[in-house]
Amino acid sequence: MLDSVRLLTGGPWIYAVVALSVLLDVFLPVLPSGVLVITAATAAAAGSTAAAAAGSTAAAAADQVPPQEVPSLLALLLCATTASVLGDLVAYRVAWRGGERLDRAIARSRRLTSAQERLGAAIARGGGLLVVIARFAPAGRSVVSLGAGAAHRRVQEFLPWSALAAVAWAGYSVALGYFGGQWLGATWVGVGVSALALVGAGALAAYVMRRPAPEPA
């Protein structure tokens, strides 16, 4: 399993793949960006475990995972966070410039309309926790980023919450992969359990987003 994970995630190209997937999944939510981040973090956990177990003996050193062959957790976190914020901004600007055609498309979607209204109310009250929660929900990031742009919310209102959402999502995904790899080993079972934990967080976020907004007092 360790060799197969190294094959999939070894080398600097993994950062480009992760960045591209995270950047584009605001428009293509089917992209497995979360699973990619988890798998890369699992490889980092496997690499650190192998390095610790190698010790100073020559026999163990032969099996040691070279540091350059496993992703850096910090680089992975920064890569996923930056790509997430950039993707949000691209979707926000596309929706901002979308004009009447996009407004009509949003009006035809109850989900987009509801999210746009709730986002506007949340930001107006000085809070944007919905942006953070939506980052975990399937397609929630798309709904909120496009909704904020279509509603012409100021970038100063949207960007800080987008950045916080990116840090929360990337940190959670990296932590799942890393600790899953530490506790369950570099196995596909470990990756699968970590991915299920990410799906569970997404299901909870989707439930919160579907709840009707509270009536104003």
Instruction: Pick the closest to residue 2 from 64, 55, 77 (CA basis).
Output: 64
Q: Which residues of 76-110 are buried (b: 16+ CB within 10 A; e: fewer)?
A: bbebbbbbbbbbbbbbbebbbebeeebeeebeeee
| % of the chain with per-residue pLDDT over 90 | 28
Q: Whole-model pTM? A: 0.78
Q: What is the mean pLDDT of the chain?
A: 77
**Which range has highest mean pLDDT (54-63, 93-102, 116-125)?**
93-102
Q: Per-residue pLDDT tens for 152-203?
A: 888 888 899 999 999 999 999 999 999 988 887 667 777 889 999 999 999 9
Mean pLDDT of 28-57: 73
* Confidence band of 112 (pLDDT split at 50, 70, 90): low
Q: Where are the domains of the chain?
A: 2-210
